[in-house]
Structures are given as structure tokens and as C-alpha cells.
A and B are shown apart, each in its own frame.
Chain A
């Protein structure tokens, strides 16, 4: 096959097949819901184009196959056939086959042909057979409509998602784009530094004017004293000329600095906006997923998507895909009733799933809702009590909203049966932790019998964050505004100590306080006359004592050096407008540390001292997990059992802590940055000083080979995260190290 403009013909075919397959996929689903001949037109063209392209590169089998698709679509358009669900199924499968051809390289084509020979033959035959006219689930397309479409198959009927409508695109790596953004940021800084030049040239201008005034004064004095002042004339002319030149130059400098600033600013924002993509990028595959699932479950569902043009940072979009899929699967599987159940409840047999995105107050808000059976709060209450996550009395006093929050705990599920589709309820916690990682949140609202809505709120971009800059021990730390409850300055005298814990009054509550420098291990905050406090939290407030507030700024977020791993309490870094680096704090992580310190009432250092002086000490457990949520759940569970608990974010931190000594048990996750739980287990077993520490691995991975890998590395037990629900985790801990009191 010949070359064409640097691309092989096959590459060109691939690009085309990919585009047309996407058009087919989206169009076919639409067709199933509302068949109109104008909707069929672009699909026919897509099939036809694939046929043509396949012909050019000599893929005869594919030509025939695409021809079969085209014929079927033509028959539908002419009303000879109706778009029945089974027919659409065939066409979708055929589209998948073509799409898979677009993912392989030229050298793999013969192999692909061989592997797909039977599919091609079988599907090709099915498509070329006229559809059985008995299957008429849907009425055939009304004749007048059909006539209109045939009379005017115009380009105007093409949907806006047609590839031709998009601007031409080139591929640029994400790293390159990030580097461009950095450079554009530098450029903006540099242009701001030009302000100094502007000031200097202004100062020069006034100095020349002063000279001129001085000269005039001198001339007056000379005249008054009868001295001939004409000798000053050449000097005066020179000064005047200089003034004119300097004035002209000042204008030129001003102008070029202003233009430079404007250009640098637009460059920066342009580069920044190139990171933005339409929400549609992440919803493209949803109709197909929903349709296939609904058919598999025997449910009737219509998916409505709103706000496809809403612009979202590509990093956020990438993170959204899994949670959206998960929420939709959940809704389909658990929320949506079967058609007869719906009819019995007086609802239309076909349910509606709705995904809507919009910008609101600088945040991206996504609602994923269904009109299904809703969540029964009392069922959740029962489950909470059964899993001993809270006492019956406590649960009874909780509002529906508070009770629904339990759904986001790892391993919490109310589904009575395990289904293939949405698993065991592990997942909602993942939705929540994903949202938290990008600085967002998730809420759920449900009305029994009417439906459930999950609302995701997240920043529109992870590239820029508005933050409060604070000073802590000479360093600059930025708190994202979205996560701050309050910012207060109070006289230091209002800080009080209760049982060794710092507190201060705010409104009607007493808020616990943690010293930022101590938490960050950067010394201690000097208590000045006025204490500067950042209040974080949600339901519970926690105060965070800093040295001073510096101001508010929009920061361009940069990922931390990968070699540092996940740095506790820090989420990212930034370079400020003045070029100084600043670290952006991880509010979620800080909150979890503060809760830990304040609820336990003692600093980790104080705790260690206390332990060494106690003769009958409590057993200590180290929990290692990169998810703050899982850490917190495990910690609470173990604390309830009476154990002393310390936590670490990953294997490396865990290993350091272990080597610090004094632990009776290690509980570790598997998948973690820097050092996995398996590596940690192996390292512990190889280190004489700590090799005898019992190890429990707790993981989402429940396949036999994962379990074996854990046991092989030297773990004493391998549990899945579902173990928190029943008593198996607690039982295993007791088995291995006995009761909490030694």
C-alpha cells in the first residue's frame, strides 16, 4: 500500500473508520428511540464511506460487509424495513466490528481478518437477509415524513456532531501542552516585570522636566542680576530636545509594554483554554452503555444528556468517566424498576436516566438522576446498625440525608444480591474518593418511589485554583478557597486549652485548633498578638493555626515532583504571580489528620511517649492505605476495638513508621503509589528488625491470584474490603494479635 502525505493509506482508513463508526454508534441509538428518515441519512453515508475507504485499500470482505449495512439502512430509510431493536443490535454489532478494525495496525490486518471471518460472514448474512416483517415492535416510519426526507436529503439534515463540522485537529502530547502553559505563565510574569521599565522611563521623563525648570529658574536669576543669559540658550535647546525625545520614547515603551502584557495574557489564557474540552467527550459512550445494559436487564430506559457543550478541563473529564459510568450502572441496576413494576406504580413503563452538566458559581455541577424506585432510608438505617457502624439509637436520630451519607463508605451496600452489573456496592466510595481527589464532592438525594439524584460538584479546571495564601514557618501554603469554611483572626488570648487541646470560640461553637507548622513538621507557629486561623471542615469545623494571611490569588496548579510520592497534607504546587513557589494544601488530608489528632486529644509525639511509659500498653496497629476514606474507616474500626492506630499514606511511609518501632500489626492496601502493599510486605519480611510483625492485606482485588500474590509475599491474611461489613476483619485482627489490652 502506498504512502500519502506521510500517512500510510491504512492509517487514513483507520481514521475514517473510527469517525464513521462513532457516527454510526451514536446515530443508531438515536434511531431506535425516534426513527426519522433524516436521522438515517448520515448513517447511510457513514456506512457508504467506510465501504469506499475499504475498497481503496483492498479489504474486499469489509467492502461487502459495509455494503450490507448500507443496504439495511437504505431499506429503513425507504420504509421497507423498520428499525427494530434486534435490527439495531445487528447494526451496532457490525459497527463494533468496524470500530475494532480501526484500532489495529496494518500488519495485524491479516490476523484480524482471520479472527473475524466468522463474525463477518454471520453478521453479513444476517444483514443481507430482509428483516422478518413479523417483528414490528415499533411502527414503521410514517409515509409523509419519508417522502419529505427522500425529496430533500440535504446536508442541513446532518447532525452537528458530523466530523466535517469540527475544526481540523492535531495531536499534541499532554506534557507538551503543560510545558507550553508553564512557558506562557513565565511570559506573563516576565511582562509584569516590565512594569519596572515603565516606571523608570516615567522617572526619567520627570527628571528632564525638572532640569528644564531648573534651567528656567537659573535664567531668571541671571537676568535679575543683569547677567547675559543668552549663553544658556544652546543648553536650553538641548534639554528641550531631550524632553521631547524622552516623552516620545516613554509613549513607545508604554505602548509596547502594554501590548506585550496583553499578548502574554491572551497567550496564557489561550493555552489554558486548550485544556478545556466539551462535556460531550465523556458522555459519548454513555448512550450505548445504557442501551446495552437496559436490554440485558430487560428494562426500558431513555437516557437524556444535557449540557454537552459545557467546557471542562481535560484532566477533570478523564477523572469523571469512571464515576459517571458507575452511577449510571447503579441507577439502571438498582434504581430503575422493571417495566411492569413501573406500570403497577402508575409510571410510564419506560424510565428516564438524566445526566446534566452545568457551570455554577465557578464549579462544575453534574446531576445523575433516575425516576426509579428511590432509596429507602430505613433499609439503609437497618444496614448501618447491622454492620455496627452506628448504634440503633444514634441512627434513629439521623436525618435521611445523614443516613444516605453511609452509602459512600467503602464496602457499604444495601443491595440484597450481588449482581454482575454493579458489583457489591464497592464503588460509591470510589466515586466519592475520586471527587475528593479533584477537590470536589458528591451528594445524594432520594425520594422513595420517585427517584434518586446524585450530584457531583467539582472544579471546572484543575489547572487554576483560587486560593488563600498563608505563611507557615516562613513557607507559603495555599488553601483552595472552595474548601475553606471561614477565615478568622482573633486575639491570641481567646485561645484556650481544654485537656491539652487548643480551642477557640467561633459563633456558638468551640472549635478545635491544630498548629499548621507542627502538622507539617516545620517547627511551630509563633503565636502573635492575633491568631490567624483557617477554618476547614463541613459538618464539624477544625481550626488551622497559621503565622499569617498573605492574600488571595489564582494559582496555576502543577503536579508535585513524582519522586516525592504522595506528600501528606499537600496536593500540588504552584508558581505565584511574583514567581515564588507555593504549595497547595490537601484540605481533605489535613482534615483527616486534624480529626485524628483532636479526637485522640494528643499529638502523635505525645502519644508515643505515653505508650513507652505505660506498663500495660494497648496494642498498636499501623494502617497503610492511599485512600483517606479507607484509612479513616479502618482507623475508626480499630479504635472502636480498643487498639492504638497510626496511619500512613503509602508503602514507603508505612515502612518508615514500622521501622520506627512499636507496632503489633500492619494492615495494608495493595495498590498504592511509590510502594505497593505487596512490596511493603516483602520488604518487611526481609528486614530482621520488623520481620515478625503480623500483616493483614486488605484489598479490592478479590481474585484468587491476587490473594495468592499477597500470601506469597508473606502476608498472614488477605481480606477484601468487604470484610469491614461483617466481623471478619475484626476477628482476624484478634486472631493475630489478641485483644487490644496487652
Chain B
């Protein structure tokens, strides 16, 4: 069937366009490329997929295990607590009906200040008795990434953030893109918890 003949096929049942698509002739170069592709040994496996919550804080990108982030909610008023509030423990906020301790990760990690804006969110982490709401500048979303994208953090510990990072993750497909620190929720909670002592 020629292109012309295909185009002129009468669209009687509404599936004409679809039939057209499936029946279109395939360019030999496409066939060759696909053949090459299939004939190749399986490409470097991405490994088991892990869901990560990617967020921005103080001009940097971070990741947390999505399963360990209980909630992402709009930032609400934070009440300072007399004699207890400090640079890291900001105070208490109403997070979905629960009064939750707010921990300034930006201060704890020595990042640029968190900037309250319409996009700012609380990311809630930690066990029931050790819950923290962390104000972040922006939540990008949840990504499912294969193990292959994860690297061990560098041996040299240069910044506070590295103390909490358990891995560096290549979030973007581009191999040259910068790596994002995956923070360990337990270590983050411990670090924030120090502000209460």
C-alpha cells in the first residue's frame, strides 16, 4: 500500500488514524537501529529502584528516602518556645493537627537561609516520638532511581551535610549533572535532636 492509498482509506469506524499509524512503512534505518539495540547485551542495569524525595534548601538540592518522609505540607506559623528555641529548634508548628517540632536544617547544615515563599514546604520526618518538620525552599517531587545512580559519599568530610549524607545520587539522566546528597533521616533527626539538649 502506498502512502497515498493509506491516507485515502476511509475512516469508517473511527480507528482509521490508528490503523494508519500502525501500518505506516518503517524506515530501514529505524529497523537497523532497533535490531542493533535488541541484539546488544542488556545495558548496565539500573538496579532496584528507590523512591527519593528531592527538595531544595539554601540553594542546594537534597534527597530523602520518600518512604521515610511522612508528609509534605505548606509551611505554617512556627511558635517560638521560651528558653528552648535556638538556631536549629525553631519552635512548634501545627502540621495537620499535630504540634510538631520545627528543625532548621539550613542552620544545622550551615546552608544559606531558608526563604519563606509560596513554594516553601515542611517535610515531616522521624519516628512518632522523634518527629521533625523541616522547612525547605521547594519540593521538586519524588523520583524513582536505580541503584546504579547511587555513589558512596566522599571520604573527606568537608561539611556538616556530609555527616548526614549516606549517598550521592545522580538525579538527572545527564551523566555530567551535579550529584545530590541523599540524607539519612535517622542522622538528620539525631542532629536536629541535639538542639534540644
Contact = CB atoms under 8 A, between A and B. Distances in A.
Interface of A: 182-183, 185-186, 189, 473, 475-476, 519-522, 558, 560-564, 567-570, 573, 575, 579-583, 652
Interface string B47-77: 0000000000000000000000000000011
A580 B76 CA distance: 8
B92 interface: yes
Interface in B52-106: 76-77, 79-85, 92-94, 96-99, 101
B174 interface: no
B113 interface: no
Given A561-B92, A563-B196, A581-B77, A575 B97 contact: yes
Contact of A580 (B82, B94, B193): B94
Nearest to B130: A563
Given A575-B99, A580-B77, A582-B79, 14 more contacts: A185-B97, A186-B96, A186-B97, A189-B97, A522-B82, A560-B81, A563-B193, A567-B81, A569-B82, A569-B83, A570-B82, A573-B99, A575-B97, A581-B94
B197 interface: yes
Q: Which of A561, A568, A569 has the most CB of B within 10 A?
A: A561
B82 A581 contact: no
B129 interface: yes
Given A476-B79, A562-B129, A182 B97 contact: yes
B99 A581 contact: yes
B99 A567 contact: no
A742 to B, nearest CB: 30
Interface of B: 76-77, 79-85, 92-94, 96-99, 101, 129-130, 193, 196-197
A568 B82 contact: yes
Contacts, number: 68
A696 B147 CA distance: 58
A720 B36 CA distance: 88
Q: Is the interface of A mostly helix, strand, loop or mixed?
A: mixed
Contacts of B129: 562-563
B196 to A, nearest CB: 5
18 contacts: A182-B97, A185-B97, A189-B97, A520-B82, A521-B83, A522-B82, A558-B99, A564-B196, A567-B81, A568-B82, A568-B83, A569-B83, A570-B81, A575-B94, A580-B94, A581-B77, A581-B92, A582-B79
B82 A567 contact: yes
A579 B101 contact: no
Nearest to A580: B77
Contacts of A580: 76-77, 79, 94
B197 A652 contact: yes
A157 B96 CA distance: 52
Nearest to A189: B97
A519 B96 CA distance: 31
Contacts of B101: 561, 563-564
A579 B76 CA distance: 9
Contacts of B93: 581
Contacts of B97: 182-183, 185-186, 189, 575
Contact of A583 (B79, B130, B196): B79
A182 B97 CA distance: 6
A475 B79 contact: yes
